[in-house]
Structure 1
Amino acid sequence: MIYKRNILMSSLRLLAALTAFSGLVSPALAQTQPMPLPMPAPVPEPQDRPFPGSLTVSVDATDTVHHVMSIHETVPVPKEAQQKGEMVLLYPMWIPGDHSPTGVIEQFASLRVQSGGRTLNWKRDTVNVAAFHIPVSASTPSLDLHFQLMTPIAPGMGRIVMTPSIVNVQWDQVSLYPAGYFTRDITVQPSVRVPHGWQIGSALRAATYGDEAHFNATTFNTLVDSPIYAGRYFRKFDLTGPDHVPVSLDVVADDPDSLDATPQQVAAHQNLVRQATSLFGSHHYDHYDFLLALTEELGGIGLEHHQSSENSAAPGYFTEWDKTFPTRDLLAHEYTHSWNGKYRRPADMWAPNFNTPQRGSLLWVYEGQTQYWGNVLAARSGLVTKDQGFEALAYMAASYDNQTGRQWRPLEDTTNDPVIAQRAPLSWRDWQRSEDYYVEGQLVWLDADALIRKLSDGHKSLDDFAKAFFGTNSGSFVVSPYQFDDVVATLNSVQPYDWAKFLHDRLDTIQPHAPLDGLTNGGYKLVYTSKPTSFIKASEAARHATDLSFSLGLTVNGAGHVGREHWISPAFKAGVVPGMTILAVNDMSFTPQRLLHAVTDAQKDPKQDIRLIVKSGDHVSTVSIPYHDGLRYPHLERIEGTPDRLSAIYAPRP
């Protein structure tokens, strides 16, 4: 009976729905369905017109104890807003270089708005939470804004930007701007106060220096593009190249000893400027400041700007030079962005303000080719040796050749990852893929370079593409957007070939292996041996981890905590997952050395599996890994009888 009653009730509900739709249900049975409320009026769209008057933005960055920056900003109120009765101010959300809406609106606090001493009650937009509606009238000539940036106190809260010795001021985090205007049309007069005696590095130039620096008036675009490093321990190195355009390395550090650079180390950075300007045959800055923090306290960063870059490295960057080479391509990468990413920019990544969504379909050029030149320029300049550059290339090639996510997801789709994941940790990065347009993009461009050299019998190379594509309009700051067809056309002007197919094959289709033709055409092949390279050893030491990515398929730190792991690797198949802790190896308490010995012992005895006791939360279990192929580490090996084009690529230009 219950079964029949349920069928009857379902039939009645279906009949009521059908008759209601056709308008045949009686008023007693009909029920009004909910409808959505109308959306609020949209925030004014940006228009290319000058904003009347100038903003002032004054930042007090002295409270390093509480990690709070206090800001006073003044904003003129245009007549148009006075007549409308409302002015809308925006907090920047789409930050160039992040490729996603990463504005730290959650750190914005304590907003007070006044005009002529009278408090105005602001209201946040209910849809666009980075927009603030402020009532104004003909008697509101300007707005006085007071607010704070509650910067992270601990790493789990976000990136640390204030420490006892260093402050990193990013202007997008400490300013509001008026809606309805292209930000290039808004003038700003910025200033910053730092702790007494600290020195400042920035692409901004100041009319007055000291504890409070008043910078020259600039546009809002340039302001956001010109962050500040201020430090208790500070040193500036002159890197100006043969074109006599000023370039400097502005270094802040946790302690004074970290600033002790040798003349040879400074010379390598000077060579970077020479090699880059030789490669691109141009510059797109009046001056350039490498901002470098040598720190364990400030949050890590590598972020490009037109006339500067924000970089961080270990305190031993100079003082332990033989150990820090795996990360020394960072400055070369960010410097390359002055040409590729800032001057030449994908058309769908140019936006009129900092709250207009961007699209990243060409990030494999913006970031991928920059990754390529970063690795090459680091070797050409002497920041790393050629062998160190080759070892880094071998590791990256092997990592992406062994990646399983390429079985379902094409490379081009990963250009959406900055918006999809916003660089949050992933459970299975190897299977999900992430922003692979960086390193796999590097391999694509190596493939292109080696192919151009092969087809032209060594007369042409990707260097010619770089000069033709990025070297136009030397001295101009005006962004030059491009699209896919522009990239193809320039490649064809260098060396005729079906470059559109070449790129589509590598970007848009499922490829079971990484693009390694660049190695083959370059005269090398990827091989594996039981000995780690110096690159892997230095990387392991820096990360305090043991890298078994190409054998068991995982990395593990000194305490046995499992980090990155390959999908469908021997460890994966045995039930080991990231986040587990290895307690014991073959009936002995865990140490990294015992795990390495277990791998080599299992290779000698095919009947001996690798036994682990692992812990996940409160759960302890035993797993057995039937792996017998020994330790495997990637290397590049010369292909006998072939031209050594790869060495030519990494060789310094005269």
Structure 2
Amino acid sequence: MNRLWRGHTGRSARRHLSNDLSLSLPKACPLIRTLGLAALLLASTTLPAQVRNSAPAATAPIPTEIPDARDIDYPGVIQLDVDATNVEQGIYQVREVIPVAAAGRLTLLMPEWLPGKHGPRGEIEKLAGLKITAGTRTLAWRRDPVDVYAFHVDVPAGTKSITAEFQFLSATAGNQGRISVAPNMLNLQFEQVSLYPAGYYTRRIPIQANVKYPAGWTAASGLPARANGATYAYQRTSYETLIDSPVFAGRYFKRWELSPRVGLNVVADKPEELAATPEAIDKHKALVDQSVKLFGAQHYDKYEFLLAITDEMGGIGLEHHRSSENGVDPGYFTDWKNAVGDRDLLPHEFTHSWNGKFRRGADLWTPDFRTPMRNSMLWVYEGQTQFWGVILGARSGMLSKQEALDNLAIFAAGQANTPGTTWRALVDTTNDPIISARRPKGWLSWQRNEDYYVGGALVWLEADSIIRARSNGTKSIDDFARAFFGLTDGDYGEVTYTLDDIVRTLNGVVPYDWATFLNDRVYKPHPAPLAGLTNNGYKLVYTEEPNDVLKSGEKSSKTASFAWSLGLTLASDGAVRSVIWDSPAFNAGLDVATTVVAVEGQGYSADALKAAVTAAKTRKEPIKLLVKNGTRFREVALDYHGGLRYPRLEKVGTADNGLDRLLSAK
């Protein structure tokens, strides 16, 4: 038999075997010969035939019908009219008249890649009732089969303009997205209520917008407007600038002048929330003053803070060149001391006028809202902004010095307890807005999330410590900020940059191997960069009492954090919100589908678990929990005896140090 297989494989081997086997069987054994042939025939009918499966032929690349953006003027001015009066149902009625230069194919786009959101966040699913007409004639439209944000329409000969009418159906429940329309206020973002013609840089498309608000409401925007009763006629501008000019409008509204060029515009669910003390407003004025002193130039003609104090409209923090959208909880003014979790928001978003809007990573800038954004420089765009949000918060008094230190302690401890730093570089987390679209993750500490915010802030804190050390205290990160961001005053265009530009500017402040420093901290997996703290005179420690910022965060989020002890965070009902990878909670098999039902035989409460953690310090027995996953109950034992641990910064010595000076008003 062996000789029959030698040199044959696959179907050839089977063919030779069936053909030759009868010849090899003894002629004196006819029964064996017959049975052998029958068995072989049976086997040949049950083995799958090795035939080639059907397969389509290779196809050409998917063709596109959408023209690329060109840096040329669009012929004519788009007229946009929005009726925003239906605040009970959150429905915007839109009418848009779009001039056309010639007959033929026209493609209209809804913005998809939105600045500040770092990903394709356009809410195309909320556009409804689209109707396009040319005079009295209704035109058929067709959605692009690849880019679903694009609508194709054939324009008849002789047509001077077409009209697009549709509704934008804003979220009425949290599971539909952020609620942006409430009974007493709204947040109108113009990308929701407009389409634009493909084939042009959006900065070259002129547009005039008019919006009708509910009677008695006041609206504010970074884009100037004339109010005629309830209708606001906005200044003619480019489509790019219109999208960068959102509106906050409300029944209860108040405005404070913070400087000749900056205003604070506030809407609230209730009029009593507008009762700001002069001291609180002075801190907002100091924020503007300290920011201008830091950066030198102002990259706006006028800047309007748009602030909503609400628990009815969804929260937001979104930057623009001449404004920012900010949402905080009730009590921002009336309970200033306990609003610490909201008081670094405006410093952060204001910084973005310089960092992110004026100076922007070269791969993040796009000519329109269809071109994908690349986020590789978000560790500068967001990371340094996160850093300045805390620093300017302290310099202005929006945060006390201790609150700023507490924030930095939380940043440092959070990154120090992120084991994902061992396998994933900080720069790779800049892809998260696209990879995960800010959806929940099961194992944040191992997967990492958008760590370019706080991880980036710690990198810039370390850079400050290097500048101070190498200049003998004569220079700091302030010098970098002024050189990099403080260019032409009043310019609210965009100046792009690359990594080489950052390195060159840092070397202009103080010579150092900045390229290697940034490569190690940002572009390679690297432990939490804590040297900015230690080199600037503070060290990260853990105590049994949470700092005030942590306490405020737990209260507002209705959670209890055992992240630095047991390795988990829980909601008030015992539902596990997060589990640190390889922590005691992780090793006990807990995850975010778990609810802690009881602690040591008693019903769950944060205080009961804190007491159990404290008691375990002086005993050998583990902490016993009863937990639930779905309908399944089980007992788990957490073998942890280290007591409660919460991060703080502890000053080394008594002399003024780098971090003290960094946090001091200028």
TM-score bracket, normalised by the shorter chain, equals over 0.9
Displacement after TM superposition at 1:480 (Å): 0.5
Displacement after TM superposition at 1:536 (Å): 1.1
Contact 1:549 1:555 in 2 (8 A): yes
Task: Please tell me the residue identity of whatever aligns with 2:594.
Answer: M
Distance, in Å, in 2 between the alignment partners of 1:32 and 1:343 is 51
Distance, in Å, in 2 between the alignment partners of 1:537 and 1:495 is 39
Distance, in Å, in 2 between the alignment partners of 1:510 and 1:39 is 37
**Structure 1 643/7 Cα, relative in aligned 2: closer, same or farther at 3 Å?**
farther
The answer for the alignment partner of 2:111 in structure 1 is: 92
The answer for the alignment partner of 1:503 in structure 2 is: 518
Is 1:177 the counterpart of 2:177? The answer is no
The answer for the alignment partner of 1:647 in structure 2 is: 660
Distance, in Å, in 2 between the alignment partners of 1:33 and 1:277 is 63
Distance, in Å, in 1 between the alignment partners of 2:295 and 2:639 is 52
Q: Which deviates more from structure 2 when the two are superposed, residues 554-563 or residues 352-361?
A: 554-563
Displacement after TM superposition at 1:8 (Å): 8.5
Task: Please tell me the residue identity of whatever aligns with 2:302.
Answer: H
Q: Structure 1 residue aligned with 2:93, among 70, 80, 86?
A: 70
Q: Structure 2 residue aligned with 1:468, among 470, 483, 486?
A: 483
Is 1:541 the counterpart of 2:541? The answer is no
- Partner-residue secondary structure (3-state), 2:182: coil
The answer for the alignment partner of 2:435 in structure 1 is: 420
Task: Please tell me the residue identity of whatever aligns with 2:460.
Answer: W
Is 1:125 the counterpart of 2:127? The answer is no
Distance, in Å, in 2 between the alignment partners of 1:476 and 1:268 is 26
**Structure 1 124/271 Cα, relative in aligned 2: closer, same or farther at 3 Å?**
same
**Structure 1 111/529 Cα, relative in aligned 2: closer, same or farther at 3 Å?**
same
Matching of residues 304-323 of structure 1 within 5 Å: 304-323=319-338
Q: Structure 1 residue aligned with 2:573, among 550, 559, 562?
A: 559
Task: Please tell me the residue identity of whatever aligns with 1:600.
Answer: T
Q: Structure 1 residue aligned with 2:351, among 329, 336, 355?
A: 336
Displacement after TM superposition at 1:38 (Å): 6.4
Displacement after TM superposition at 1:139 (Å): 2.1
Displacement after TM superposition at 1:5 (Å): 4.0
Distance, in Å, in 1 between the alignment partners of 2:289 and 2:593 is 45
Displacement after TM superposition at 1:35 (Å): 4.3
Displacement after TM superposition at 1:396 (Å): 1.1
Distance, in Å, in 1 between the alignment partners of 2:40 and 2:644 is 65
- Partner-residue secondary structure (3-state), 1:239: strand
Distance, in Å, in 2 between the alignment partners of 1:641 and 1:198 is 54
User: Percent sequence identity over matched residues?
Assistant: 47
Q: Structure 1 residue aligned with 2:449, among 417, 434, 456?
A: 434
- Partner-residue secondary structure (3-state), 1:39: coil
Q: Which deviates more from structure 2 when the two are superposed, residues 303-312 or residues 564-573?
A: 564-573
The answer for the alignment partner of 2:207 in structure 1 is: 188
Distance, in Å, in 1 between the alignment partners of 2:431 and 2:138 is 43
State the TM-score, normalizing by the size of structure 2: 0.92
Displacement after TM superposition at 1:404 (Å): 1.2
The answer for the alignment partner of 1:220 in structure 2 is: 239
Is 1:620 the counterpart of 2:633? The answer is yes
Task: Please tell me the residue identity of whatever aligns with 2:196.
Answer: Y
Contact 1:326 1:392 in 2 (8 A): no
Consecutive unaligned residues in structure 1, runs of 5 or more: 18-29
**Per-residue CA distance 1:229-284 (angstroms, 9 max, x = gap):** 000111101101xxx4x211100111111111000000000000000000000011
Contact 2:403 2:548 in 1 (8 A): yes
Task: Please tell me the residue identity of whatever aligns with 2:644.
Answer: L
Distance, in Å, in 2 between the alignment partners of 1:204 and 1:2 is 85
Is 1:149 the counterpart of 2:172? The answer is no
**Structure 1 608/61 Cα, relative in aligned 2: closer, same or farther at 3 Å?**
same
- Partner-residue secondary structure (3-state), 1:128: coil
Task: Please tell me the residue identity of whatever aligns with 2:618.
Answer: K
The answer for the alignment partner of 2:255 in structure 1 is: 236
Matching of residues 449-464 of structure 1 within 5 Å: 449-464=464-479
Contact 2:565 2:643 in 1 (8 A): yes
Distance, in Å, in 2 between the alignment partners of 1:3 and 1:479 is 78
Distance, in Å, in 2 between the alignment partners of 1:8 and 1:404 is 54
Contact 1:414 1:435 in 2 (8 A): yes
Is 1:296 the counterpart of 2:311? The answer is yes
Distance, in Å, in 1 between the alignment partners of 2:386 and 2:364 is 18
Consecutive unaligned residues in structure 2, runs of 5 or more: 1-38
Q: Structure 1 residue aligned with 2:364, among 333, 349, 353?
A: 349
Distance, in Å, in 1 between the alignment partners of 2:41 and 2:383 is 62
**Structure 1 215/597 Cα, relative in aligned 2: closer, same or farther at 3 Å?**
same
The answer for the alignment partner of 1:523 in structure 2 is: 537
Contact 1:86 1:137 in 2 (8 A): no
Contact 1:522 1:643 in 2 (8 A): no
Distance, in Å, in 2 between the alignment partners of 1:336 and 1:31 is 59
Q: Answer with 1 or 2: which has the greater Rg.
A: 2
The answer for the alignment partner of 1:206 in structure 2 is: 225
Contact 2:107 2:151 in 1 (8 A): yes
Displacement after TM superposition at 1:538 (Å): 1.1
- Partner-residue secondary structure (3-state), 1:261: coil
Distance, in Å, in 2 between the alignment partners of 1:334 and 1:47 is 31
Distance, in Å, in 2 between the alignment partners of 1:523 and 1:622 is 45
Distance, in Å, in 2 between the alignment partners of 1:204 and 1:94 is 21
Task: Please tell me the residue identity of whatever aligns with 2:327.
Answer: S
